[in-house]
Amino acid sequence: MERRLGYNGAFWARVLGQSLRRRVFKSYIIVIGITVSVAALVFLQAFLSGVDDRMIYNIARFANGDVTAWWTAQGPDDLQVIKKVRSFPSVEVAAIRSSRYGVLSHGHDRITPVYLMGCEPDIETHFGVMQGGLEAGRFARGPDEIVLCKGMADRLKTHVDDVVHLWVSTETREPLRVVGIVDAEFGTDPFMAITSLTAAEGTSLQISALLNSPGAADQVASRLREMLPEGASLETWDQKPTFFAIQQLIQLQRAASVVVAALVAVILAFGISSTMVVSVAERTREFGILRTVGVGPWGIVCLLTGETMLLTATGALLGEVLGICAVWILSLAGGIDLEHLMGSLRLFARSSVINPRLTFTAVLLPLSAALVSGLLASFLPARRASRISVVEALRTI
């Protein structure tokens, strides 16, 4: 029995292919329509994922804490402040950063002025500053290590494991091993481990603290002020509403993308369905003949649905390939800069370059939408075709 079904399957598969070849123009129209729609949906989903990434990345860069203080380094005791701040019960996490100007050199003729940033890698991971972006190597952990951005590494012609020199004065030169390289989007500042910069004269220090409860910001600021030298700047701000706004924005985007996918599916379904209705009307006699030979109503439904699903699947797969290629090409080109559209928004002030990113949703949602709409759009006309009276069907020419 199984063998017989296999033979029958091959017969119907051949007939199905022939049927589509003999209606080649209609087949092309359906396939092209589905291909373009699916490709557009894949790209849109990937683009929206890229927008999400950009917002999250940007917010991670500027939302450094609920309480932030800056002062000029006084000496080794400065590092004690961070220990005290971390002991506050309302502080969830606190980071200290240092920054100063200097000159980096590699070889005799390759030198560049830099704004050096010292930070604690483990803590910064919590803030999101050091997440992602590492192209090679690792982040700096010790006093004689440095991470460079790609542009600067290119300018100095350095690679991971090379040794560069940091000039903090004309006489003082410190050798530093390049342990990592981050991509250009990370900015231009080289990172170092915190301990290498705190003692240097003219270094700026910054403490950023994330609190358990935002209401405690003023209290923490007041205690911090007591520990800091005179003239230190102190700022408090509540970042939770911003994160909440972003979350809402992302949820809104996701809902919108599902609505767009549903709309595209409905439009596709109407397009396929109307083509099917015309096709059924044209082939009524053919179905009548098949019924007299002994093909049952479900046989007609399977034949018509099979034809449409084959076209839908072909179009959907081509659309997937087209959409994925478009995303890939755009990624190679460095993304889309939407500064003129979004540059004025705070969320996109740092960078408005969107890199579309493929996700499971971006790939599977358009494919599912196309297949479901194809199935629904073909099933109803096919069911109608199967219910036409054989006698009536045979009267049509």
> Please, what is the angle between helix 240-282 and helix 24-62, to 10°?
180
Nearest-angstrom CA–CA distance, 193 and 195: 6
- Whichever of 122 and 392 has its CB closer to other proteins, that residue is 392
Confirm if 297 and 386 have CB atoms less than 8 A apart.
Answer: yes
- Whichever of 11 and 115 has its CB closer to other proteins, that residue is 11
Considering CB under 8 A, how many residues would be counted as binding other proteins?
30
Stretch that binds other proteins, among 86-94, 239-247, 290-298, 334-342 (CB under 8 A): 290-298
Stretch that binds other proteins, among 3-11, 29-37, 59-67, 215-223 (CB under 8 A): 3-11
Among 2, 3, 109, 231, binds other proteins (CB under 8 A): 3
Q: Provide the strand spans (E) within the chain.
A: 67-72, 91-105, 111-119, 134-137, 145-149, 163-167, 173-182, 191-193, 204-211, 233-236, 336-337, 353-354
Question: What is the closest distance, in whole angstroms, from the C-beta atom of residue 355 to other proteins in the complex?
Answer: 47
Question: What is the closest distance, in whole angstroms, from the C-beta atom of residue 326 to other proteins in the complex?
Answer: 36
How is residue 333 written in tokens? Answer: 């080109």
Residues in the chain: 397
Q: Residue 297 interacts with other proteins (CB under 8 A)? A: yes
Q: Which residues of 31-51 are buried (b: 16+ CB within 10 A; e: fewer)?
A: bebbbebbbbbbbbbbbbbbb
How is residue 16 written in tokens? Answer: 């199905």
Cα within 13 Å of Cα(11), Cβ side? 6
- Whichever of 207 and 385 has its CB closer to other proteins, that residue is 385
Positions in 9-68 near other proteins (CB under 8 A)? 11-12, 14-15, 18-19, 22
Q: Residue 389 interacts with other proteins (CB under 8 A)? A: yes
Question: What is the closest distance, in whole angstroms, from the C-beta atom of residue 376 to other proteins in the complex?
Answer: 24
How is residue 90 written in tokens? Answer: 């309302």
Among 107, 241, 296, 343, binds other proteins (CB under 8 A): 296
- Whichever of 4 and 108 has its CB closer to other proteins, that residue is 4
Among 29, 184, 277, 289, binds other proteins (CB under 8 A): 289
Q: Residue 5 interacts with other proteins (CB under 8 A)? A: yes
- Whichever of 2 and 109 has its CB closer to other proteins, that residue is 2
Nearest-angstrom CA–CA distance, 130 and 147: 11
Nearest-angstrom CA–CA distance, 363 and 81: 50
Among 83, 285, 339, 364, binds other proteins (CB under 8 A): 285
Instruction: Look at strands 111-119 and 191-193 and give their pairing.
Output: parallel
Positions in 180-219 near other proteins (CB under 8 A)? none
**Which amino acid belongs to residue 103?**
V
Stretch that binds other proteins, among 165-173, 189-197, 296-304, 376-384 (CB under 8 A): 296-304
- Whichever of 5 and 332 has its CB closer to other proteins, that residue is 5
Question: What is the closest distance, in whole angstroms, from the C-beta atom of residue 271 to other proteins in the complex?
Answer: 22
Among 194, 291, 362, 373, binds other proteins (CB under 8 A): 291
| Terminal C-alpha separation, the chain | 37
Among 329, 332, 333, 397, binds other proteins (CB under 8 A): 397
Question: What is the closest distance, in whole angstroms, from the C-beta atom of residue 10 to other proteins in the complex?
Answer: 8
- The secondary element (H helix, E strand) that includes residue 290 is helix 284-293
Q: Residue 286 interacts with other proteins (CB under 8 A)? A: yes
CB atoms within 10 A of CB 197: 26
Confirm if 365 and 45 have CB atoms less than 8 A apart.
Answer: yes
Residues engaged in binding other proteins (CB under 8 A): 1, 3-5, 7-8, 11-12, 14-15, 18-19, 22, 285-286, 289-297, 299, 389-391, 394, 397
